Amino acid sequence: MKIEGPLITGRFVARPNRFITLVEVDGKIVRSHLPDPGRLQELLVPGAELLLRPRPEGSARKTDYSTVMVRHAGQLVSLVSALPNRFVRESLLAGELPMLQGYSLLKPEITVGRHRFDFLLTDPDQRPFYLEVKSVTFVENGVARFPDAVSERGSRHAGALKELTENGDVGTGVLFVCQRSDAREFRPMWDRDPKFGRAIAEAHEAGVKVWCITVKVTVNEMTFFQEIPVNLSSY
């Protein structure tokens, strides 16, 4: 998947709120929109190299830039939490995700009752399959974890997928997209959001499929790297 440019380089200074970063660019401090509302404390450290996208001409947005990547431990990490949805959509159409071979995309953003899921697919048996995609940026000692901040929405989605699986002849799944390539395993962040951990573990026990993939990120593109094991145990 191509990354929209051009991107310019800056240095992280501060984060006055969840959606704003202060960045030093060419000796000046600029305000830049941050598309990922997670904590990101291990990534946004003073002096960290950031890649910013200038605001398009004619845009009514208040900030002049968007913060789209950070360089961490020698690699680029995407900070656009909506990017995995676009990546999964393009990868589905191109047949590039091994765990979803034989699945076909019917519709993005499908509403079921009070819930909206990212994709409606058909599985290899031509049954409806509801897929939710979650963005992951936190990795510690090779373990990708989600969420890095309490995610009530994530818990609701997991519970809704569990109900769909139990009540109908449909398939369901959650695909965690780790927006970096250095993770070897995925686990819920039990200490930060035990409610989500229980919700995703119970969903999986009910038949909801749970996968995690890592990607490689460059200034020009995001590409599939590998599927990694998922461990939903609380210990």
Query: Could you tell me which of 121, 119, 115, 106 has the C-alpha nearest to residue 157?
Result: 115
Rounded CA separation 179/144 (Å)? 10
What is the phi/psi pair of residue 212, to 5°?
-140, 135
Is CATH 3.40.47.10 the right assignment for the domain spanning 83-228? no
Question: In this predicted structure, what is the pLDDT of residue 95?
Answer: 93
Number of other CB atoms surrounding residue 104 within 10 Å: 14
DSSP state of 2: B
Nearest to 170 by CA among 125, 214, 116, 129: 129
Query: Taking the mean position of all CA atoms in its chain, how far away is CA 5?
Result: 20
* pLDDT score recorded for residue 225: 97
Average pLDDT score, the chain: 95
In the chain, which residues fall in CATH 3.40.1350.60?
A: 83-228
C-alpha span between 122 and 72 (Å, rounded): 38
Start-end of H helices in 129-210: 152-167, 194-206
pLDDT number for residue 17: 94
Domain 8-78, architecture per CATH: Beta Barrel (2.40)
Question: Which residues of the chain are in CATH 2.40.50.580 domains?
Answer: 8-78
Tens digit of each residue's pLDDT (9 = 90 or more) over 171-220 = 999 999 999 999 999 999 999 999 999 999 999 999 999 999 999 999 99
Q: What is the pLDDT of residue 59?
A: 74
